[in-house]
Amino acid sequence: MIILQKYGFYFLLLGVISDLLTPYILGLFYPKLNQMTTVISVFGDVDSPVRSAFLIWSVVSGLFFVLSLPALYQLFAGTSKTLAMLAVTAVGLYGIGDCIFTGLFSINTNESSWNFSTWVHNIGSGLGYAGFLLFPLLLVLFYRQGGQIALSHVYLVLTVISLLIAGLYGLARIPSVSQFAFFKQLGFFQRLSFFFNYLPMICLSFFQLRS
């Protein structure tokens, strides 16, 4: 546990970099996939030429996030144990629900109805994404309670941007809205949303590794 507390933010940064680069690296081996319109989970579809690599990579990324939890708890617990539990839950949900479950329970877009694997994948992904959206707000509260108002404001701006883009991504998933040209770029909105959600984690990791 001491080792995980010491190196946890390295694991968090590795998890972010690994998950963020996944579609772009695997996309080199999946030339037919349109990154602008296709969601990332399609890399794990049964017809995907990079399916095995994607599933393994997703689990590895998720494990990095899980390994960062002791360090996150230690950091937040110094200010608030409630915030510490929420932060661990948020990142844990993402690491397990959206990464590890993605690797263990892939989707099949050829099936007209959801099977067990698709149900687990989508529910896990939904819970994980909720934790993903919550984490930047927890950073706002953490730094505010710690008296670091300037950093709190920085994370507040990032949180607002993240939520706005997540809202656009949510709209792009609605069939009646996705017919408009602007919202047809579902993959773009997902990747942009992920980037702005990861940005607070990246900043936090760098701040902690420099201290």
- Distance (Å, whole) CA 153 – CA 143: 9
Q: How confident is the model at residue 113, as a pLDDT?
A: 61
Q: How confident is the model at residue 110, as a pLDDT?
A: 57
- Distance (Å, whole) CA 139 – CA 71: 14
C-beta separation of 202 from 13 below 8 A? yes
C-beta separation of 2 from 71 below 8 A? no
Q: How confident is the model at residue 111, as a pLDDT?
A: 59
Map the chain to HEC letters. Answer: CHHHHHHHHHHHHHHHHHHHHHHHHHHCCCCCCCCCCCCHHHHHCCCCCCHHHHHHHHHHHHHHHHHCHHHHHHHHHCCCHHHHHHHHHHHHHHHHHHHHHHHHCCCCCCCCCCCHHHHHHHHHHHHHHHHHHHHHHHHHHHHHHCCCHHHHHHHHHHHHHHHHHHHHHHHHCCHHHHCCHHHHCHHHHHHHHHHHHHHHHHHHHHHHHHC
Q: Burial level of 112, CB count in 10 A (0-12/13-18/19+)?
A: exposed
What pLDDT, in 10s, does the model give residues 87-105? 999 999 999 988 898 888 7
C-beta separation of 194 from 161 below 8 A? no
Q: How confident is the model at residue 107, as a pLDDT?
A: 64
Q: Which residues of the chain have pLDDT under 50?
A: none
The model's pTM is 0.88
Q: How confident is the model at residue 125, as a pLDDT?
A: 78
What pLDDT, in 10s, does the model give residues 8-38? 999 999 999 999 999 999 999 998 899 998 8
